């Protein structure tokens, strides 16, 4: 294009121009990237071609050494959409009519001259001659235009048939020879290339734009190449800085590791001069102890790292050793001086331990760890001082308790001993209350306040004057020696205060053996708990070869308490040996069991102390067993001497022996046993039960012999046995009810009524009242306690004797009925029993049954000391009559199945329903 504008001409057709194209620029460097590629595109020779649809010709132009091919199109009729569209690509102004696509394309091109306007309306069409002339003129004109175009372009024009149209001087004779034959082709070539002349300015503008882009891109290439060079330099600097940073980081990390190791060594070995000065010359204070703790840490560090062969340890070791000896010396002087203060009178050991010794526990731990010899000396001095302290304290307290203990019973107070008529609680008092019911009288003994000055007296301020307190309470009476009463407060008030010696001496108070033992044991438990708690904290074992950490503490505790335990064992042994109070010994054993559990709950698990407590328990139980053996022997001796002549001696308050011999009310030995069994077995200590079983067997023998000796008639003997069994069962049942209310925290203790199956007579409609809540469904039944087992035993005996009495009571009036039914029921078939036998029973029963029932309702209740149980026996008697009469009617139905109510008797038998109606009349009696 540039050559064309400069007026250069192309060579012959198909030959390159005379001027060679400029050499292509060198390829861009690696930093040029895509920009170099773009420059390569613009620097290469470019040939452009465009397809223009149908009837296209091709013209070649040499522009700046590059071949540019342009496609031109014949002018088509306005109706040809495709041709018009192709023309519109060249000149959009030319599409004023024709297809929409052709017009749009021509409008976009903008370089095609508009087609000739259509002939005006009304114009006359040309004749064939005029058309031919016009065509010739146009042909000559077109040939001339072709030559002009060839001259302008300086090259040959290629026609639509692919032949050259020669009009230049270079073509010579060849173009002239073909001019005549190819006139039509010249005309077509000229018409096809006319439009190329109009594109020359546009091509020139395009060339200048391309040249400007080439210059801009060359500048950009240069700039980017420089930028790439700079980036390479920066990258090299960054790499160098990164390598240097890594070297610095490694150096810093190594330096930090070395510094930390060096700091640990310095911290673990170096002491400040002021600290050393304080350790050598300072007084033992809390500040001194803080420096000792620091010294302990440094010595431990050196010992722990001595295998690393650190040279500094060789220099520090001797200095630390001298400091260790100096601290051990000062600690020894300090602790021995503080322990000497415990020898002074009225020194509180617990306060001294908490406020002095425990404050300097770290100092003792340093000595225990780094100077065991000094620690052992301190420990031995502590054991010696504390052992003397506790021994003196308990010796004074034991002497105080020995002055206030009062025996409740003596050698002659046994279950089978003689009854003391002078006491208001003797048998006479019991028999005098029989009209009001045995239960209330018996339970009055059970709920008595027997303690002369029980532990409750020590827990409350004594009354002014104290004279009445010095006098023994009704607890000293023989009848109350076997009922626990208020003595059970020792078991309920676990945290009650102990007996205070000067208060007891001032008010002349006296206490039973269980209260004294309880106070002594509580003092022992409190002192032992405090001492063991201090020893386990202060004397900690840090040597595995000596055993557990508490090994030293347990050894110190036992050595310190050994003299005290001997003093306590001697005192308790003396009190127990002199006691004949079985109930007091049993309560003391139960109190001892509570304090053993208290020791375990406080964590005092010293084996030697627990063994000592077990020895005390064995002393109490052995003495209790011995005293109960005396009770059992006394019952046995009383039973051996039981004869009709001596039986009257059991009721010394009675007016004459004859009346006394026939009194069926309970025996005083049974009452004593009931109270003692309810009290002892209610403690729920299984070891106390076997001696009571032996006494129970002797009591049953005694009652059986007394019944046979005093009551020749079997009915009166049964009444006597029933009264005794009922009294024992009532006391036991009341004790169970009382203990249940104590556990539940509800008021109780009165008689809740007979509620056991054995107490209720056969045929009774009232449901039994359980003595304890029933277990939940699906759970195994709980094991019966000793008291429950005792109650069931006596209820079983009561049930058997009650049934024997029912048969005996019915024998005079209804014996014929009972005998007939018992003998007839086993016989089968009943045809062998005559109708007369059935009729005799029916007639006799109809004659006596109403009167007999009335006599029984009056006589049965009066025979029993307990109105409640007498009513229950009467109920059983009347129910037995109804049951036997119903069984008689059942036998009648079997013997006379076809009678249908018409029996072969002179008079019909009394109906079973009539008997039941008559029995209901006596319901008010019970």
Q: Which pLDDT value is given to residue 526? A: 94
Q: How far, in Å, are 59, 704, 807, 884 from residue 800 at the CA level?
A: 149, 14, 11, 18
Mean pLDDT, contiguous 10-residue spans, the chain (926 residues): 40 40 44 41 39 36 39 39 36 38 38 50 50 50 55 52 48 47 60 72 90 93 92 93 93 90 83 91 92 91 82 84 92 93 84 92 91 92 94 93 90 84 36 35 37 36 36 37 82 86 87 92 94 91 68 91 95 94 93 93 91 94 95 92 58 41 80 92 91 94 90 85 92 84 56 38 32 48 78 94 91 91 87 86 90 87 80 89 91 79 78 88 64
Q: Is 694 exposed, middle or buried (0-12, 13-18, 19+ CB in 10 A)?
A: middle
Nearest residue to 367 (alpha-carbon basis) of 320, 322, 321, 329: 329
Q: Which pLDDT value is given to residue 406? A: 87
Nearest residue to 493 (alpha-carbon basis) of 462, 452, 445, 460: 460
What tokens were used for 291?
């420096």
Q: Which pLDDT value is given to residue 262? A: 84
Q: How far apart are CA 609 and CA 599, in angstroms?
A: 10
The neighbour count for residue 840, using CB atoms within 10 Å, is 14
Location of structure tokens 């082709």? 185
Q: Is 778 exposed, middle or buried (0-12, 13-18, 19+ CB in 10 A)?
A: exposed
The per-residue pLDDT for range 221-230, each reduced to its tens digit, is: 999 999 999 9
Q: How far apart are CA 367 and CA 683, in angstroms?
A: 51
Collapsing DSSP to helix, strand or coil, 465 comes out as coil
Assess contact for 861 and 870: CB atoms under 8 A. yes
Enter the DSSP assignment of 405.
B
Q: How far apart are CA 773 and CA 507, in angstroms?
A: 45
Q: CA-based Rg of the chain, rounded to a whole angstrom?
A: 68
CA angle 313, 317, 321 (to 5 degrees): 160
The per-residue pLDDT for range 441-462, each reduced to its tens digit, is: 333 333 333 333 333 333 333 3
Q: Which pLDDT value is given to residue 646? A: 52
What tokens were used for 891?
């036998």
Q: How far apart are CA 480 and CA 293, in angstroms?
A: 66
* DSSP bridge partners of 752: none
Collapsing DSSP to helix, strand or coil, 66 comes out as strand
Q: Between 273-281 and 286-304, two packed helices, what is the crossing angle to 10 degrees?
A: 110
Q: How far apart are CA 338 and CA 349, in angstroms?
A: 11
Q: Which pLDDT value is given to residue 597? A: 94
Q: How far apart are CA 584 and CA 596, in angstroms?
A: 18
What tokens were used for 123?
């114009």
Non-local CB neighbours of 378 within 8 Å, separated by 6+ positions: 331, 332, 335, 336, 339, 364, 367
- Tally of residues, the chain: 926
* pTM of the predicted structure, to 2 decimals: 0.63
CA angle 609, 615, 621 (to 5 degrees): 140
State residue 646 phi and psi, 5-degree precision: -100, -10
Q: Which pLDDT value is given to residue 189? A: 62
End-to-end CA distance of the chain: 149
Element housing 59 (H / E): strand 56-63
The neighbour count for residue 798, using CB atoms within 10 Å, is 26
Q: How far apart are CA 299 and CA 370, in angstroms?
A: 9
Non-local CB neighbours of 406 within 8 Å, separated by 6+ positions: 452, 453, 472, 510, 511, 512
Assess contact for 109 and 91: CB atoms under 8 A. yes
- The DSSP annotation for 584-618 comes to HHHHHHHHHHHHHHHHHHTT---HHHHHHHHHHHH
Q: How far apart are CA 43 and CA 691, in angstroms?
A: 132
CA angle 115, 121, 127 (to 5 degrees): 80
- The DSSP annotation for 225-272 comes to HHHHHHHHHHHHHHHHHHHHHHHHHHHHHHHHHHHHHHHHHHHHH---
CA angle 514, 517, 519 (to 5 degrees): 110
The neighbour count for residue 473, using CB atoms within 10 Å, is 19
Element housing 824 (H / E): helix 786-824
65 phi-psi bin (left φ>0, alpha ψ -120 to 50, beta other)? left
Q: Which pLDDT value is given to residue 89? A: 34
Give Cα 710 distance to the centre of its chain: 68
Assess contact for 311 and 353: CB atoms under 8 A. no
Enter the DSSP assignment of 511.
B
């Amino acid at each position: 294009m540039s050559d064309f504008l400069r007026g250069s001409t192309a060579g012959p057709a198909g030959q390159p121009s005379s001027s060679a194209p400029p050499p292509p620029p060198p390829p861009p460097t690696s930093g040029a990237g895509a920009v170099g590629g773009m420059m390569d595109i613009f620097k290469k020779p470019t040939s452009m071609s465009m397809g223009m649809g149908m009837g296209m010709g091709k013209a070649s132009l040499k522009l700046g050494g590059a071949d540019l091919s342009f496609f031109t199109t014949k002018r088509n009729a306005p109706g040809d959409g495709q041709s018009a569209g192709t023309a519109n690509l060249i000149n959009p102004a030319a599409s004023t009519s024709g297809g929409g696509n052709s017009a749009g394309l021509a409008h976009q091109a903008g370089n095609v001259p508009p087609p000739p306007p259509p002939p005006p309306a009304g114009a006359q069409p040309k004749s064939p001659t005029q058309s031919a002339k016009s065509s010739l003129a146009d042909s000559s004109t077109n040939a001339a235009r072709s030559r002009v175009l060839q001259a302008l372009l300086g090259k040959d024009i290629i026609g639509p048939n692919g032949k050259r149209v020669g009009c230049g001087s270079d073509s010579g004779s060849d173009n002239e020879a073909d001019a005549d034959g190819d006139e039509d082709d010249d005309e077509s070539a000229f018409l096809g290339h006319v439009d190329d002349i109009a594109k020359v300015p546009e091509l020139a503008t395009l060339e200048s734009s391309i040249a400007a882009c080439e210059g801009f891109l060359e500048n950009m290439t240069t700039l980017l190449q420089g930028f790439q060079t700079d980036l390479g330099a920066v990258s090299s600097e960054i790499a160098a800085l990164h390598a240097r940073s890594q070297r610095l980081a490694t150096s810093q990390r190594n330096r930090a590791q070395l510094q930390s190791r060096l700091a640990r060594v310095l911290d673990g070995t170096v002491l400040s001069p002021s600290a050393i000065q304080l350790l050598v010359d300072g007084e033992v204070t809390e500040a001194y102890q803080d420096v000792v703790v620091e010294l302990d840490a440094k010595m431990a560090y050196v010992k722990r790292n001595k295998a690393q062969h650190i040279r500094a340890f060789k220099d520090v070791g001797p200095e630390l050793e001298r400091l260790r000896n100096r601290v051990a010396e000062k600690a020894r002087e300090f602790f021995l001086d503080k322990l000497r203060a415990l020898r002074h009178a009225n020194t509180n050991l617990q306060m001294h331990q908490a406020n002095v010794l425990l404050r300097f526990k770290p100092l003792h731990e340093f000595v225990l760890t780094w100077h065991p010899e000094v620690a052992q000396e301190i420990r031995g001095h502590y054991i010696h001082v504390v052992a003397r302290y506790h021994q003196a304290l308990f010796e004074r307290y034991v002497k105080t308790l020995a002055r206030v203990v009062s025996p409740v019973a003596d050698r002659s107070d046994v279950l089978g001993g003689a009854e003391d008529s002078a006491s208001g609680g003797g048998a006479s008092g019991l028999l005098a209350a029989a009209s009001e019911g045995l239960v209330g009288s018996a339970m009055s003994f059970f709920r008595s306040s027997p303690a002369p000055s029980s532990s409750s007296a020590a827990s409350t301020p004594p009354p002014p004057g104290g004279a009445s307190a010095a006098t023994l309470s009704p607890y000293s009476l023989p009848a109350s020696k076997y009922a626990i009463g208020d003595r059970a407060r020792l078991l309920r008030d676990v945290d009650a205060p102990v007996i205070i010696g000067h208060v007891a001496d001032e008010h002349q108070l006296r206490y039973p053996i269980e209260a004294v033992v309880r106070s002594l044991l509580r003092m022992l438990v409190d002192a032992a708990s405090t001492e063991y708690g201090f020893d386990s904290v202060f004397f900690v074992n840090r040597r595995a070869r000596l055993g557990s950490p508490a090994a030293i503490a347990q050894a110190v505790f036992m050595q310190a308490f050994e003299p005290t335990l001997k003093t306590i064992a001697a005192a308790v042994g003396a009190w127990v040996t002199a006691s004949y109070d079985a109930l007091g010994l049993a309560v003391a054993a139960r109190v001892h069991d509570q304090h053993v559990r208290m020791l375990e709950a406080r964590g005092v698990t010293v084996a030697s102390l627990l063994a000592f407590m077990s020895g005390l328990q064995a002393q109490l139980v052995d003495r209790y067993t011995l005293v109960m053996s005396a009770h059992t022997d006394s019952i046995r001796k009383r039973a051996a001497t039981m004869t009709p002549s001596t039986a009257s001696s059991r009721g010394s308050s009675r007016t004459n022996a004859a009346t006394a011999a026939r009194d069926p009310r309970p025996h005083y030995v049974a009452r004593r046993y009931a109270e003692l069994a309810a009290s002892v077995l209610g403690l729920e200590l299984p070891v106390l039960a076997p001696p009571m079983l032996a006494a129970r067997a002797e009591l049953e023998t005694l009652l059986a012999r007394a019944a046979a000796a005093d009551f020749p008639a079997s009915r009166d003997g049964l009444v006597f046995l029933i009264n005794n069994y009922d009294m024992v069962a009532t006391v036991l049942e009341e004790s169970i009810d009382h203990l249940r209310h104590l556990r539940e925290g509800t008021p109780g203790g009165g008689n809740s009524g007979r509620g056991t199956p054995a107490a209720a007579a056969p045929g009774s409609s009232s449901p039994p009242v359980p003595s304890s809540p029933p277990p939940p469904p699906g759970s195994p039944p709980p094991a019966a306690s000793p008291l429950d087992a005792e109650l069931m035993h006596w209820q079983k005996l009561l049930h058997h004797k009650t049934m024997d009495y029912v048969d005996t009571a019915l024998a005079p009036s209804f014996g014929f009925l009972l005998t007939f039914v018992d003998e007839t029921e086993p016989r089968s078939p009943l045809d062998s029993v005559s109708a007369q036998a059935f009729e005799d029973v029916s007639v006799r029963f109809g004659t006596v049954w109403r009167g007999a029932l009335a006599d029984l309702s009056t006589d049965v209740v009066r025979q029993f000391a307990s109105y409640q149980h007498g009513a229950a026996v009467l109920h059983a008697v009347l129910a037995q009559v109804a049951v036997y009469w119903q069984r008689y009617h059942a036998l009648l139905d079997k013997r006379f199945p076809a009678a249908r109510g018409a029996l072969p008797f002179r008079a019909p038998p009394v109906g079973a329903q009539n008997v039941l109606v008559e029995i209901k009349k006596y319901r008010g009696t019970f």
